[in-house]
Structure 1
Amino acid sequence: MSATSGVKASGVQTRTFVAGGALLLAVALPLLLPDFGVTLLGNIGIFSLVALGLVLLTGVAGSTSFGQAAFMGVGAYTTAILTTRLEWSPWLALLAAFGMTALVALILGAVTLRMSGHYLPLATIAWGISLYYVFGNATDLTGGFTGLREVPPLSVLGVQLTSGRTYVYLILLIVILAAVGVQNLLSSRTGRAIRALRGGSVVAESFGADTYWLRIQTFLVAALLACLAGWLYAHFWRFVNPTPFGLNIGIEFLFMAVLGGSGFVWGALLGAGAITLLKNWLQDILPALFGQAGSYETIFFGLLIILMLQYSRRGLWPILDRLVPPRTPKVFGQAPLLSARSKPANGEEVLRVEHVVKQFGGLRAVNDVSFTLHAGEILGLIGPNGAGKSTMFNLVTGVNPATSGRVVLRGRDVTKLPARAISRLGVGRTFQHVKLFPEMTLVENAMMGGYARARGGLLASMLHLERRDEASLQAEALREIERVGLRDQAWNQAGNLPLGKQRLLEIARALVADPALLLLDEPAAGLRYHEKQELATLLRKLKAEGVTILLVEHDMDLVMNLADRLVVMNYGEKLAEGTPAEVQRHEGVREAYLGGVA
C-alpha cells in the first residue's frame, strides 16, 4: 500500500469511528438524560429538520427565507385538526400535511422566487407573518391563539409512543434519514446544479438546467422538511398554538443554520443543538443577572451571529470538520459510456447569425452583425476591448436575447430560446470571466457540464438511485480533465487553481457536454507559452473530431495560427471577415485594431 493510500485509509477509519461514536451517543442519550433533557433533545431533533431545509434553501441555493416556521405551522395544524376533529390516523394526516404544505409552497414559491436581492427575504417575512395570523385568527378551525389540545400520540407497529424517551428515537431516526437524503442530493447531478444557483443562474442554464424549476424544487423540499418537523412537534407536545410558528422563531431557525454552518448538512444539527441549549440556559441565567424578566437571549443571539459572520462565516461545522482527516473522494468503478451526440457533416452550416442587433437602452452593443460558421471550422471573433464579442457570445448561447435579427443553429431558429434549450441542442461554452465553483473539486465542476446528458432527478438523488449516471458522468469528467492536462489535480478544489488552469478546467467542463459547437471566450488568458501551445494542439484535435469552434481571443499569434477564418468587430459592428492573411491586410483592421502596424 502506498503512503497516500495509507493516509486515505486512515482518514476513512477516523471518520467512520467519529460517525459511529456520534451514532452511539445519539442512541445512549435518551436513556441517560433526565426527562427535561429528553424534551430538549426532542426539540433539537425537530428544529434540526427545519434548519436542514434552510441549509439547502439558503446556505446552498442562496435563497434567504425567514418563513420556514410558518411551514412548520402548516404541518402541525394540518395533523392537529385532522386527528382531533376528524379522528384521522396521524400517519394519514402526515400525507395530508405534505399535500397541504406542498400546495402552499408551490403557490408562494411561484410568486416569490422570481425576486432577487433583498426583495426575496422581505417577501418571506410577509407571508410568514400572514400565515402566523391565519393560525391565530381562524378560531373555528385552529382554536385561535388558545390552540388545539389532546393531539393523539403516534403509534408505530401497534405501539403507542406516549413516552418522550421512545418518541425521541423516532425523531432521531427521521432526522438522520433526512440528513442522509439531503447529503445524497447535494452529491448528485441535481445537487451540483442547486449549488450553482448561489453564484447566479448563467452557468447552470448554460449547461441545460432549468434554474427557476430548481429553485422551486429546493423551496419545496425545505418546506416539506419544515412540515415534517411540525408534524413531529404536534404529536410530541400533543398541543398546538401559533406561538412556535411566528417570525421570531423563523429568525431563530435561520440563526441555527448560520451558526452550525449554512452550507453543511450536519451543521444544521449542530446549529439546532447549540441554539436550543443556549436559549434554555440563557433564559435561566440572564433574567437573574439583570434582575428582571425579558427576552434577553435574543440580544445575545444577535451579538453571537454578528461575531460569527465576522470571524467564521462558514459556521461551526467547518471548524470541527478540520479536526479529522479530510474526506476521501467518491470514485466510481467501471461505468457505461454516456451516449455521444452525432456531429454535423464536414462543411455543413452549423451557425448562421443574420443582421443581429442587441440594444441596452440607448447603447447598441451589437449592431447589424452577420456571419456563418461551418462544421470543421475554427472561426476567430476578434476586436478591441468593448467591441461586443462577449455580447455576441451571449446572443448565440441565449444568455441575452437579440433585440432584432436571427440566430440559426443547424437550420433551427434559436433566437428566442433560453440558454438551457440552446445548450441541449449541442452548444458548449466558456466565459470571459471564469465561472467555476471554487468549493467543488475539479471533477465536480467538470461533471456540471454533463448535466443535460444524465437523467437523475431530485427524488432519485435523495434516495441515491442515480449511481449509474453519476459513475458515467464522473468517468467522462475525468477523461476531459486529463485531455486538458489537469488529471493529477482532479480531486483538488477548483478555487486553488491559478487563473490559467481554471480556464482549462472550464474547457473540460464544456467538453463534458459533448458539444457540436464550442464557444471559447478568451481561453488562453493567463496561460504560459507552452500551455498555449498545448491548448492550440487540443483545439486542432477537437476540430479533427468534428467539433466546430467559435473563438474569442486577444492573443493574435495564437488566433492567427489557429483560426480558419476571422470576423473582426469594432464598436459593435462587423469590420471585416476573411482568412487570417486577408484580415491582416485589411486597412480598416490595421487602423482600428492593430494600430496601423502590419
Structure 2
Amino acid sequence: MKRIVKNGPFWMFLIVLFALPVLPKPLHVPEYWITLLNYIGLYSIVAIGLVLLTGIGGMTSFGQAAFVGIGAYATAYLTTQFGVSPWLGLIAGVLLTALIAWVLGAVTMRLSGHFLPLGTIAWGLALFFLFGNLELLGKYDGINGIPVLNLLGIDLETGRHIYYLIWIVVLGAVVSVQNLLNSRPGRAIRALRGSGSMAEAMGVDTGWMRVVIFVYAAVLAAISGFLYAHLQRAVNPTPFGLNHGIEYLFMAVVGGVSHVWGAVLGAAILTLLQDYLQTLLPKLLGENGNFEMIVFGILMVLLLQHARGGVWPFVARLFPRGPQARAPNDVHPLPMRSKPAAGERLLSVDKVRKEFGGLVAVNDVSFDVKSGHIIGLIGPNGAGKSTTFNLVTGVLQPTRGTVTFRGERIDALNSREIARRGIGRTFQHVKLVPGMTVLENVAIGAHLRGRAGVWRSIVRLNRSEEARLMAEAARQIRRVGLEKHLYDEAGSLALGQQRILEIARALCCDPTLLLLDEPAAGLRYQEKQQLAALLRRLREEGMSILLVEHDMDFVMNLTDRLVVMEFGTRIAEGLPHEVQRDPAVLEAYLGGVE
C-alpha cells in the first residue's frame, strides 16, 4: 500500500496521459494538441537516449538526428519498395542502426575533450548528406506513400490512433534506462563521467561500456524514426540534419541531462515553447523575419544560466523520492577466492624502472610483499611512490623490470586484468560517484564478481545476482564501520569517511592484496588513528596490504616492514625501528642529523 501512495504522482501522470485522446465531448482534446503530444513523445525517446549517453555517460553527441533518419528511411524504403511488413522494417532499421552505431562508436568513443562532439558532428553531417544524395532514397524529395501501421488488426492511420503506441514506447524507454542504471552495468556507466580510471581499477571495461550506451542511445533514436515515418507517412532528409541533432541535445539539457524524466520534460518545454513563439511573435513583430529563433535562444540562455542542472530537479521536489537500492539480508553469499598461505610471497617488484623522456621517475626499485603483512612504501613528496604504485596497478607500464603477483608477471597487464587477479586499490585523490549512495559506490567494487550484462539488466533478469552484489557491498561497509551511512550520498561524507569508503569498495573486489595510495592524506589525528585501527583489523583477518604514504608517524607503528624512496630510488628497507635510525632516511626527511 505504501508503494502505491509513494508512486501516486506517477500513476496520476499515466492516467491523464492515456485518458486525453478519449475524453468525452465537453473535454475533447483537439487533434492539434494530440499532434503536439505525439511529437513530444517522439522527441522524448531520442532525448532519453541522450540522457544515458551525455548526462550519465559524459559523452556529448550532436548526431542523434542521423540515427532517427536511419530508422525512418529503413522502414520507408523496405515497405514502399518491397512491400514488407513495417514491423520487419523496424527490425531492419534497429539492426542497421546498431551496426552503424557500433562501427562509429568504436572510433568516435575513443575521442576525448572537444574532439568527441566534433566527431559526432562530422558523421552526423555525412549521414545527412547521404540521405539527400542517394537515388534509391529519393534524394531530397524523400520517400512518400509509407503504409499505415497495423497493430493487433487495428490500423493506426491518424495521430490519435498512433498516440498510445508512441507513449507506450516512451514509458518503455524510461523504464528500460532506469532498470539499466540501477544495475551492475548501470553503476559502471554512472562511474564513466569523471571516474573512468576508478571504474577501470574495479574491473570495468570502460571503452566497451561507452560503445554499448552509444549503440543503445542510437537504437532508441531509430525507434523514434520508425514511429515518425509511419506517423508522417513520408520522409525526407530535412528532419535528420545537424539542427535537429542540436535540438535533441538541447531538450535533454533543458529538462535535466542527468535525469531520465528530465528528457520528457525537456522535450515538452522546447516543443511547446517553439510552437507558442511561432504563433505569438508574427502577431507582435510582423511576418517578416525569423524572430522566434532569436527569442527562443535568449530564453534558453537565461534558463540555463539560472538552472544549470535543468528544470527537472525543481519539479522533482514536488514528488516523494523513489525507493533506493537496498541491501537484502537473506541471500546466498558470493563465492570468494582462495586465500594464500601465511608468509607466501604475493608481490615481487624486481628492478622496476620508469622513464618519462629524460626524467627517471623510478630507478630500478625492488621489494616484496608477503601474505598477512602490511608493507609501507614511504618517502618525501616527489620520491616516486605513487609512480611505483601505478606501475604495480597497471596504470603505467614500466620501461624495464618485472612485477609478478603470485608467480605471474603482471607488468604488461592493464588495470582491469590486474584487478581480476586479486589486487584491489584506493586512490591518492578520492574517486567516488558523489550522487550515488555509499552502498552503490561500494557495489562498484564487486563488478567482476557479477555476470549480468546490459540486456539482462534492462529487462530485470538480474534480480538474484543484484541482490547478492548489494548484500556483499553492505557486508564490506559493515566491516569497515560505515553501516550508519549505508544509504547516504557518498558526496555528503567527510574526507576520512570517503577514504574508508574507498577501502570498502576495494575489499568488495575480494582481493588477495590491498593497495592503498596515501590513505591518511588530509586526515586529522583522530581519523588517522581510526584508519590505523581498521588496517590492523584487516591484517588480523588475513589481508595483505601495500601502503604508499609520506606520513612516517602514521606508518611507524602500523607496518611490518618499510621501503623508503627518494628521487625515484630505494634508499632503505627493513623493520620500522631500523628504518627510523637509518642515516639516509634521516637525511631525506630531516636534512641530516648531527
**TM-score after normalising by structure 1:** 0.96
Instruction: Give the structure 1 partner of residue 337 of structure 2.
Output: 341
- Quote the offset at 1:359 in angstroms: 2.0
What are the within-5 Å matches in structure 2 for residues 143-222 of structure 1? 143-222=138-217
> AA paired with 1:30?
P
**What is the CA-CA distance between 1:332 and the residue it aligns to?**
4.5
1:273-284 aligned within 5 A: 273-284=268-279
**Quick check: 571-580 or 517-526, which moved more?**
517-526
**How many angstroms does 1:369 deviate by?**
1.0
TM superposition shift of 1:425: 0.6
Cα distance between partner residues in 2 of 1:297 and 1:505: 51
* 1:504 alignment partner AA: I
Q: 1:136 to 1:567 in 2, by over 3 A?
A: same
Matched ranges for 1:323-362 at <5 A: 323-333=318-328, 334-362=330-358
Deviation of residue 200 (structure 1)? 4.3
Q: Which amino acid aligns with 1:424?
A: R
- Residue 13 (structure 1) shift: 5.3
Q: Distance in 2 between matches of 1:404 and 1:82?
A: 59
After superposition, residues 280-429 of structure 1 pair within 5 angstroms as 280-333=275-328, 334-429=330-425
Distance 1:295 1:192, change over 3 A: farther
Structure 1 position 257 matched with structure 2 position 248 = no
Structure 1 residue 454 displacement after superposition: 0.7
CA distance in 2 between partners of 1:512 and 1:350 (Å): 19
Deviation by residue 1:552-580 (Cα, 9 ceiling, x = unmatched): 22332331111111111111111111110
Identity of aligned residues (%): 57
Helix, strand or coil: the match of 2:46? Answer: helix
* Count of residue correspondences: 588
Q: Secondary structure at the match of 2:430?
A: coil
Which of 10, 26, 30 is equivalent to 2:17? Answer: 26
Partners in 1 of 2:593 and 2:530 — Cα distance? 28
Q: Secondary structure at the match of 2:424?
A: strand
RMSD: 1.6
* 1:549 pairs with one of 545, 559, 568: 545
Counterpart in 1 of 2:25? none
Deviation string 1:106-136 (CA, Å, 9 cap, x unpaired) is: 1111111110000000010111111111101
CA shift at 1:534, angstroms?
3.0
Q: Any unmatched runs of 5+ in structure 2?
A: 23-27
Judged with a 3 Å threshold, the aligned counterparts in structure 2 of structure 1 residues 303 and 359 are, in CA distance, closer, same or farther, namely farther
Structure 1 residue 233 displacement after superposition = 0.4
Secondary structure in structure 1 of the residue aligned to 2:376:
strand
- The one-letter amino acid of 1:351's match is L
Q: 1:66 to 1:541 in 2, by over 3 A?
A: same
Match of 1:6 in 2: none
| Structure 2 CA distance for partners of 1:396 and 1:496, relative to 1, 3 Å | same
Measure, in 2, the Cα distance between the counterparts of 1:279 and 1:40: 11
2:35 to 32, 39, 54: 39
Is it true that 1:235 corresponds to 2:230 in the alignment? yes
**Which residue of structure 2 aligns with residue 472 of structure 1?**
468
Would the alpha carbon gap of residues 332 and 544 (structure 1) be closer, same or farther in structure 2, given more than 3 Å must change? closer
CA distance in 1, matches of 2:503, 2:358: 34
Indicate how the Cα distance of structure 1 residues 244 and 15 shifts in structure 2: closer, same or farther if over 3 A, else same.
Answer: farther
Give the conservation status (yes or no) of the 8 Å contact 1:501–1:527: no
Say if 2:378 and 2:551, in contact at 8 Å, map to a contact too. Answer: no
Unaligned runs of 5+ in 1: 1-8
Matching of residue 126 in structure 1 with residue 117 in structure 2: no
The aligned counterpart of 2:513 is 517
User: Is contact 1:500–1:525 with CA below 8 Å preserved after alignment?
Assistant: no
Displacement of 1:178 in angstroms is 1.2
Q: Distance in 2 between matches of 1:579 and 1:206?
A: 30
How far apart, CA to CA, are the structure 2 residues paired with 1:515 and 1:295? Answer: 63
Q: In the alignment, does 2:91 pair up with 1:107?
A: no
Give the letter for the 2:91 counterpart: L
Specify the alignment match of 1:247 in structure 2. 242
Letter in 2 for 1:308: L
Aligned amino acid, residue 182 of structure 1: V
Q: Secondary structure at the match of 1:201?
A: helix
Corresponding residue SS for 2:191: helix
Q: Which whole-Å CA distance do the structure 1 matches of 2:572 and 2:250 have between them?
A: 58
User: Against the structure 1 CA distance between its residues 364 and 306, is the aligned structure 2 distance closer, same or farther, given a 3 Å change threshold?
Assistant: farther
Q: Is the Cα contact below 8 Å between 1:484 and 1:535 reproduced in 2?
A: no
Instruction: Tell me what 2:263 maps to.
Output: 268
Residues 301 and 355 (structure 1 numbering): CA distance in 2 closer, same or farther, change over 3 Å?
A: farther
Structure-1 separation of matches of 2:458 and 2:288:
45
Q: Is the 8 A contact 1:69 1:128 kept in 2?
A: yes
Cα distance, 1:597 vs. partner? 5.9
- Residue 450 of structure 1 aligns to a residue whose secondary structure is helix
The CA distance in 2 between the partners of 1:354 and 1:476, in whole Å, is: 35
Where does residue 572 of structure 1 map in the other structure? 568
Change in 2 beyond 3 A, CA 1:487/1:421? same
Is the Cα–Cα contact under 8 Å of residues 352 and 370 in structure 1 kept in the other structure?
yes
Q: Which deviates more from structure 2 when the two are superposed, residues 206-215 or residues 572-581?
A: 572-581
Q: 2:441 aligns to what SS in structure 1?
A: helix
3-state DSSP of counterpart to 1:562? coil
Cross-structure match for 1:502: 498
Greater Cα shift, 85-94 or 309-318: 309-318
Q: Structure 1 stretch 517-526 or stretch 101-110: which is displaced more?
A: 517-526
**Structure 1: distance between partners of 2:549 and 2:235:** 64
Q: Which moved more, 1:559-568 or 1:466-475?
A: 466-475
**TM-score, length of structure 2 as denominator length:** 0.96
SS in 1 for 2:244: helix
Query: Residue 568 of structure 1: SS of its match in structure 2?
Result: strand
Aligned with residue 80 of structure 2, among 58, 72, 84: 84
SS in 1 for 2:412: coil
Evaluate the alpha carbon distance shift between residue 377 and residue 326 of structure 1 in structure 2; reply closer, same or farther with a 3 A threshold.
same
Q: Which whole-Å deviations, capped at 9, do the CAs of 1:506-549 have from their partners, x for residues lacking one?
A: 11111111110100112223444443333223222222322210
How far apart are residue 375 of structure 1 and its match?
0.9
Partner of 1:4: none
The alpha-carbon deviation at position 50 of structure 1 amounts to 0.5
Letter aligned with residue 249 of structure 1: H
User: CA contact under 8 A between 1:14 and 1:324: conserved in structure 2?
Assistant: no
